[in-house]
Homo-oligomer: A and B are copies of this chain.
Amino acid sequence: MTTTADSIYEPLTEETAIQLARRLNLFDAEADLVCREIGDGNLNLVFHVTEPTAGKGVIIKQALPYVRIIGEGWPLTLERARMESEALRIFARYAPEYVPEVYYTDNDYAITVMEDLSHLTIVRTGLAEGAIYPLLSTHIGQYMARTLYGTSDYALGAEARRELALQFHNPELCKITENFVFTYPLIDHESNVVEEGLRPLAEQIWRDAQLLREGARLKRHFMISAEALLHGDLHTGSIFASETETRVIDPEFAFYGPMGYDIGLFIANTLLSAFARSEHSREELLAHVTNVWDVFAAEFTALWQENNQEPLADAAGYLDDELLRIFQDAIGYAGSEMMRRVIGLAHARDIEAISDKDRRLHIKSSAALLARDLIVNRSHYKRAPQIVEALRQADRNEPILHS
């Protein structure tokens, strides 16, 4: 699935990106265009083509056939560009206000041309700078309910869902998640990045039999549950927002998986941003954590009642069972994600940016202890406020108790 020597693929330059934008008639024929490569990821080129005098722009994203930070030695499928643009089109069916519009795709060149969202900021960055995004959790709760419900058996019926799932065969990117989120952080793997003072805790984690066992079960469930079309990497770096607007980008990890995974990733990364803040400025972020679940559950329930292909869906108590199962999946996956952000390869930048070493280590160890509880004791979580209560206990170095 990776590029081959005789493929026609070649990477764009700022110049050829402008030529492409012109060819697609995305600007007036005579427009003065400028282009800047703004990708900060490892996997893609991102060109921002603008017509400054008109205040117009587009984004041209191109997948690279290797992981940029490591170099050409680590090839990676170009198929992920197709996954991303296909997923954006599917998500736009259910939640058009929460994804960028796709104007054009070219699978040979692994190119997606889409809406310019440069009036928004990346939520991870904004949260680190103290932004609140008052509508963030409401929008993300709605986005998740609509895309996850909309692509499930409940909305589509099993035949159409099975058909759609065939399009999202994405084994290489699933493997990255399986390794870097679920496996490596739980074992003493060379890819883990463990800050010196955290080493004793990391070693305790790697010897924790119960954690390993429950982590393995969560991984297994992730691998075999074709429940809904997931974004697959829904951390706060995959969300653009302002005070009034929210857009989810970069679904190149899209595949059919368990609904709780998307929810858990959003919760985990919001919790990490909360940890990184001083205690009194955490509250808005913790409110996002409880609100995102409340909005998800309410919207999911409304969609369930409005259009449901499952003849047994009306069974008394069954919707409650489903919501609790999705919630507890989300709790577990939030734990897996937090753990990898503390001792895996890809860390939370806002926590790493804390210069006070004692405070940074305290936050990391609190986050790791919370992550452990979310994984091991996920069946004890029944309501979203328990997550916030658990964070406070972890932050006070208290054992996490569930009333």
Contacts and interface: CB of A to CB of B under 8 A. Distances in A.
Given A158-B171, A224-B153, A224-B227, A216 B178 contact: no
B315 A209 contact: yes
Contacts of A283: none
Interface in A96-139: none
20 contacts: A153-B224, A158-B171, A159-B172, A159-B174, A166-B166, A166-B169, A182-B312, A183-B311, A183-B312, A209-B315, A209-B317, A210-B317, A212-B316, A213-B318, A213-B321, A216-B315, A220-B310, A220-B322, A224-B226, A225-B226
Interface of A: 153, 158-159, 162-163, 166, 169, 171-172, 174-175, 178, 182-183, 186-187, 209-210, 212-213, 215-217, 219-220, 223-227, 310-313, 315-318, 321-322
A164 to B, nearest CB: 11
A131 to B, nearest CB: 37
B312 A215 contact: yes
Given A169-B166, A226-B226, A317 B158 contact: no
A162 B153 contact: no
Nearest to A157: B175
B159 A213 contact: no
Tally of this chain's copies:
2
A174 B162 contact: yes
Nearest to A311: B183
Contacts of A227: 224
A139 to B, nearest CB: 27
A212 B318 contact: yes
Nearest to A312: B216
Nearest to A187: B311
Contact of A158 (B158, B223, B310): B223
A172 B212 CA distance: 39
A236 B47 CA distance: 62
A167 B317 CA distance: 36
A227 B226 CA distance: 10
Contacts of A213: 315-318, 321
Contacts of A225: 224-226
Given A183-B311, A213-B318, A224-B225, A171 B175 contact: no
A321 B215 CA distance: 12
A186 B317 contact: no
Given A213-B317, A312-B219, A158 B186 contact: no
Contacts of A172: 159
B312 A153 contact: no
A171 B178 contact: no
